[in-house]
Amino acid sequence: MSDLLRRITINPKQCGGRPCIRGMRIRVSDVLDLFAAGLSAEQILEEMPDLEADALKAALLYASRKLNHPVLVA
Q: Could you read off the pLDDT of 40-67 as tens digits, one per residue?
A: 999 999 999 999 999 999 999 999 999 9
pTM: 0.87
| Closest listed residue to residue 11, CA positions, set 51, 61, 2, 20 | 20
**pLDDT tens digit sequence for 14-27:** 999 999 999 899 99
As to burial, measured by CB atoms within 10 angstroms (0-12 exposed, 13-18 middle, 19+ buried), residue 22 is middle
The stretches of 1-74 forming alpha helices (DSSP H) are: 2-5, 28-36, 41-47, 53-67
20 half-sphere exposure, CB direction, 13 A CA radius: 15
DSSP-derived letter for residue 11 is: -
